Amino acid sequence: MQETLSPKTSDHPVEINSLVKAFGAQVVLDGISLNVKAGEVLAIIGPSGSGKSTLLRCVNHLEKPTGGTIRVCGDYIGYRRKGNVLREIGGRELARQRARTGMVFQNFNLYSHKTALENIIESPVHVRGVDVKTAKARAHALLERVGLADRADAYPAQLSGGQQQRVAIARALAGEPEVMLFDEPTSALDPELVGEVLTVMREIAESGMTMIVVTHEIQFAHDVCNRVVFMADGKIVEEGAPGDVLDNPQAERTQAFLGRFNARA
């Protein structure tokens, strides 16, 4: 297997090479290669079950790859390289690697027993050792940024879906990640709440954050993302500028997939 030898200070925070992921006999990711540039906003689209979530989960090592390599900020995430051996790691070493990516989940996954503010300061205080006062000040600034300055003391159960997702984004940002991963962040939301989340994401993209966004929001991919990847059956079928892939798709599968969207719209 060949790979580019990039130094730690690569301008590609995410480098995925021939990634294979199988659950038992089922091959879910079948040789994915993908590099994401610093500051790039990448959209991943594709039908349900094509492996989009699995790909994102591999990038922060919530799933172990079956084959191929993933490097995040130069490190093989989940492993320590010694010569030709990638030795699996755990504990603090893995946690430190994971902290470089922030993840936003489809169903928010806010800590139910903690308020919005407590959700945000949890990792800064208990992982990175920021003192509580500083962490709270930053958390309030983040809540302001996602338009929830007045809901700091609300528990997740007291927030609407859109509000929960915006707190979840603030929580991920609080870790000061190099890369933000979004897994269908608006798919669980009532239609009238989708806009508020996309607005926040657009603002983060404009601030220069490197982002990988799995989404069914074709308009968002079109307007905000620099590049679109279309996946089907665990493979990348087509990729390119949003204008090309979304407006003038070449592959049949992409055409069929986008056709269903246009028919509905």
Partner 1 sequence: MTQAAAANSAYIGNPVYAPRRHPVQLAIGLAVLAFLVLIGKSLFDNKNMQWDVVAQYLFDAHVLNGVLVTLGLTVLCQILATILGVVVAVMRLSDSRVMIPIAVGYLWFFRGTPLLVQLIFWYNIAALFPHLVLGVPFTEYYQVISTNTLISGFTAAVLGFSLHEAAYMAEIVRAGILSVNKGQKEAALSTGMTEAQAMWRIVLPQAMRVIIPPTGNQAINLLKATSLVAFISGGDLLSNVTDIYSVNFAIIPLLVVASIWYLVLVTVATIGQTYLERAFGRGYGNSAPGKPKKPQIDELSDARNAVSENL
Ligand X SMILES: Nc1ncnc2c1ncn2[C@@H]1O[C@H](COP(=O)(O)OP(=O)(O)O)[C@@H](O)[C@H]1O
List own/partner pairs for 200-208 with CB under 8 A and 24 or more apart: 200/145, 200/146, 200/147, 200/166, 200/169, 201/169, 203/145, 204/169, 204/173, 204/180, 205/41, 208/39
Contact string 49-88 vs ligand X (x = CB under 6 A): xxxxxx----------------------------------
The stretch near ligand X (CB under 6 A) out of 42-50, 159-167, 202-210, 243-251 is: 42-50
Residue 145 sits in the site that holds partner 1 (CB under 8 A):
no
Instruction: Give the nearest distance from C-beta 132 to partner 1 in angstroms.
Output: 14
**Does 128 participate in binding partner 1 (rule CB under 8 A)?**
yes
Residue 58 Cα distances to 20, 54, 237, angstroms? 10, 6, 19
Length of the chain: 265
Residue 36 vs 200, nearer CB to partner 1: 200
Q: Which of 14, 42, 50, 53 binds Mg ion (CB under 5 A)?
A: 53
Q: Which of residues 206-265 bind partner 1 (CB under 8 A)?
A: none
Per partner kind, with CB cut-offs from 5 to 8 A, the member of partner 1, Mg ion, ligand X, none near residue 127 is partner 1
Q: Which listed residue (92, 131, 263, 264) binds partner 1 by CB under 8 A?
A: 92
Pairing of strands 26-36, 75-76: unpaired
Contact 58, 72 (CB under 8 A): no
Cα 225 to Cα 221: distance, rounded to the nearest angstrom: 5
Closest CA to 258 of 4, 43, 27: 43
What the block records as the tokens of 148 is 């929830």
Q: Is 81 near partner 1 (CB under 8 A)?
A: no
Binding site for partner 1 (CB under 8 A): 60, 62, 90-92, 94-96, 98-99, 101-103, 105, 107, 109-115, 122-123, 126-128, 147-148, 151, 154-160, 162-163, 168, 171-172, 174-175, 192-193, 195-196, 199-200
Binding site for ligand X (CB under 6 A): 23, 28, 46, 48-54
